[in-house]
Amino acid sequence: MKFATKLIHAGVHADPETGAIMTPIYQTSTYAQKAPGIHKGFEYSRTHNPTRTALQNNLAALENGNWALCFSSGMGAIDAVTKLMKPGDEVIASNDLYGGTYRIFTKIFENYNIKFHFTDLSNVHNLKNLINPNVKLVWIETPTNPMLNIINIEAITKICKENNIISAVDNTFASPYLQNPLNLGADIVMHSVTKYINGHSDVVMGALIGNNIQLHEKLAFIQNSCGAVPGPQDCFLVLRGIKTLHVRMERHCQNGKKIAEFLSKNNKVDKVYWPGFTNHNNHEIAKVQMKDFGGMLSFTLKNDSIENAHKFLSATKLFTLAESLGGVESLCGHPATMTHASIPREERIKSGLLDSLIRLSVGIEDIDDLINDLNQALEKC
């Protein structure tokens, strides 16, 4: 099946009893057993739920994996992967990543004697320099949040394989429409399903997808033991949202390109970060590993200050100032004081995340309206 067909059909079957074409919301915590242990594969909804199973099968197909596990948030999924580590293990992660990921690594897991190294993994040599026998996991995002750096997935996963290290790719910004990290050698793909996959800003959910059966066993054990599972209503909403991922992504990409080009010509704007520019640091890698360049971009103002960024953000009318991304509506945010506030200033400045950096999640509205809105807000800066 091709991608667009998988989105609509993979893992989903008409209900044998009624013919209902949408997977029912199995709003149940438990399942009748004929005798102890004799049942139809479902015992308790923390372990399995039919609506969640349909979604997991669909997600596995989209990423060309043979298993998927859904969690009650993207952070729940990241938590599960990090719980594969034991005290004394070390993790190498990109230094430009979602603030919540940085926070769970440094504020939660460092307490359990797991060591984290943060480095610029858009340069693959930085990975080689940090590898030692205690390193058991490499964690990357690409494109990164919020600097839109591109990391060469194939090069990173090759080094991981040579050194027996698990490689995990947070594919939230790209979505499975733009990029499939398992095809490029990754062991685990992670999604904040909250974003493009659901696409309608009405669900918080996470997912892990892979091919390695041992990893599936370990992660399913963690999922069931720790219990961060999504409810069937949310699984239903994601199954509904996912059906239009391809058409939404096409428009996100078209609008993102036009806005990146508009901003790069505006005299209030200093730098625009978008992997589709031919002078973007890793544009050539983005061209190879991604189908298009996505709807996320960031930019700085010539007058670089938090106050000036706040002026812009209070002036937009269509771009709503809000956390999150990947929904049909356009959002704007200020990473330094919002999504990435948990990263110390000196750390974020090192990765280019300046005080005036503004992040846009470009929605699928009419492009003229979006550009007019940005134009009038930039006039206030």
Residues marked active site are found at: 46, 98, 170, 195
CA separation (Å) from 266 to 150, 166, 300, 302, 308?
A: 24, 43, 11, 10, 15
**If DSSP codes are grouped into helix, strand and coil, which group holds residue 182?**
helix
Smaller CB separation from ligand P1T, 325 or 343: 325
Q: Is 170 in the site for ligand P1T (CB under 6 A)?
A: yes
Q: Which of 240, 223, 199, 242 is nearest to 71 (CA)?
A: 223
Q: Is 145 in the site for ligand P1T (CB under 6 A)?
A: yes
- Bridge partners (DSSP) listed for residue 68: 209
Q: Which of 8, 84, 100, 254 binds ligand P1T (CB under 6 A)?
A: 100
Minimal CB distance residue for ligand P1T = 74
Q: How far apart are CA 138 and CA 238, in angstroms?
A: 28
Q: Where are the alpha helices (DSSP H) in the chain?
A: 3-9, 50-62, 74-82, 99-103, 125-130, 153-162, 175-178, 213-226, 232-242, 245-264, 283-289, 306-315, 345-350, 367-378
Smaller CB separation from ligand P1T, 70 or 213: 70
Would you say 46 and 224 are in contact if contact means Cβ atoms under 8 Å apart?
yes
Residues 79-98 that bind ligand P1T (CB under 6 A): 98
Q: How far is the CB of 369 from ligand P1T (least distance, A)?
A: 23
The pairing of beta strand 135-141 with beta strand 90-94? parallel
Q: How far is the CB of 17 from ligand P1T (least distance, A)?
A: 34
Q: How far is the CB of 227 from ligand P1T (least distance, A)?
A: 16
Q: How far is the CB of 222 from ligand P1T (least distance, A)?
A: 16
CA dihedral 369, 375, 379, 381 (to 10 degrees): 110
Residues 259-318 that bind ligand P1T (CB under 6 A): none
Smaller CB separation from ligand P1T, 17 or 323: 323
Smaller CB separation from ligand P1T, 1 or 118: 118
Q: Is 241 in the site for ligand P1T (CB under 6 A)?
A: no
Q: Which residues are near ligand P1T by CB under 6 A? A: 73-75, 98, 100-101, 141, 145, 170, 172-173, 192, 194, 204, 206, 323-325, 339
